[in-house]
Every structure is written in structure tokens, then in C-alpha cells.
Amino acid sequence: MPDPDPQIFRWMLLLVLVGNLVISGYHRARARADETIPRAAEPLGLRLVRVVFALPGMLLMLAFMIYPPWVAWSSMAVPVWARWAGVFLGLAVAPLNVWVLRSLGKNVSETVLAKASHELAHAGPYRWVRHPLYSSGFVMIGAVSLIAANWLMGALTLGGIFLFLLVIIPREEAELVKKFGDRYREYRTRTGRLFPRFLPARG
């Protein structure tokens, strides 16, 4: 079987990104209509860390879609089947995002801060995972790295995971503990951060 036209992966990447961004944008707009926490409310250092990781990734994806030779220096050899697996994963994330965002409802926020009207989410995927929105986001970005066959996108994905595990999630959970106290502490003992907890928490 002949290899597919490489251009098809540019269109597949665009389809994955646009599909997921439309879903996210719709639900975020609905949540903002209820209550909005401006980005400026977050500490400056936290906002800068986000930009350091997010901006290069966005520029890489944009460059790949516009003119792949611009990012050829960071390409890697990826089997065609793996790139199609990335397409499948990226498209599969879309219904997962719908489920996550519907379960989160008006609690959706662009910051680590809790809204005044914030409610403790424990329906849908939140029954097992505390941050499924981050989980689906990392799967999507990892899928995009495979579709684009780009090692730098993959490295930024791994860096982003460590950033969220070490900085973003602890700060967000500290805010939720302040708001919900023991309710959130108990919820945290029976759920995983990014993936379901398969073993009971110690202590």
C-alpha cells in the first residue's frame, strides 16, 4: 500500500484542532456568561509559566499547518500507522471533551482560582478523576505531536504535564481546599489527579 500524501496530515491536524477548539470555546463561553475570573487575577509568575509552554506549541502547530518546511528541523520519523493513531486519538478526545465540559458546567474557568459560585464537581468523569479536562488536553496535544511527527511538540507536551503536576494542579487544589475544606480533601482521597485511582489512598 502506497504511503498517503503527507498533506493529508496537515488537514487531519486542522480537523482535530478546530473540532476540539469549537467544543471548548462553546462551553467556556457559556461558563463565562455566568461568571468570569480574569487571567489578571492569577499571579504574574503563573501566567508567564503558562505562556512559556503554550506559545511555542501554538506557533509550531500553526507553522506545520501553514508551511511544514518551517518546522522540518524538529520533525521525527514516525510510522504512518502511528500518525493515523494520532488522528484517531485526537478525534476521540472530542466526545470526551463534551462529556467533561458538560459535567463541569458553569465551573469552567481559565484560571486556577475558584469562582464565587463554584460547585464541587463529582459527576461524569469527575467521579473518578479530579482534572479530566487536563487529561484530555494532554491526550489531544500528544495526538497532534504524532500527527505532525514533531519531536519538539512531544517534548513540550511532556514538559506541560510536569508543569501541571508540579505547579498548576497543586495551586488549583489549594484553592479548592480553601473553598470546600474537608469535602474536597475527602474527594481527593478517592480520585486520581489525571487518571482514575486503581489503588486506595494510603492513610
Report the pLDDT averaged over residues 63-91: 93
Q: Do residues 167 and 49 lie in contact, with contact meaning Cβ atoms separated by under 8 Å?
A: yes
Report the pLDDT averaged over residues 187-197: 91
**CATH assignment, 44-109+117-189:** 1.20.120.1630
Report the pLDDT averaged over residues 75-102: 94
Q: Tens digit of pLDDT for each residue in 93-119?
A: 999 999 999 999 888 888 888 888 888
CA distance 60 to 157: 12
**pLDDT of the residue at 203:** 43
Is 34 or 27 the better-scoring residue by pLDDT? 27
- Long-range CB pairs of 187-193 (<8 Å, 24+ gap) are 187/120, 187/122, 187/130, 188/130, 191/126, 191/127, 191/128, 191/129, 191/130, 192/128, 192/129, 192/130, 193/129, 193/130, 193/131, 193/165, 193/169
Q: Percentage of the chain surpassing pLDDT 90?
A: 60
Q: Mean pLDDT over all residues of the chain?
A: 88
pTM of the model: 0.88
**pLDDT of the residue at 3:** 59
Among 16-20, 29-33, 123-127, 187-191, the minimum mean pLDDT is found in: 29-33
CA distance 169 to 161: 10
Residue 40 to residues 46, 61, 111, Cα–Cα distance (Å): 10, 26, 9
**pLDDT of the residue at 201:** 54
**pLDDT of the residue at 52:** 81
CA distance 134 to 126: 12
Where are the chain's structural domains? Answer: 44-109+117-189
Residue 63's pLDDT band (cuts 50, 70, 90): very high
**pLDDT of the residue at 1:** 45
Question: Backbone phi, then psi, for 195, in 5-degree steps?
Answer: -135, 155
Evaluate if residue 173 carries a pLDDT over 90. yes
Evaluate if residue 196 carries a pLDDT over 50. yes
Evaluate if residue 199 carries a pLDDT over 80. no
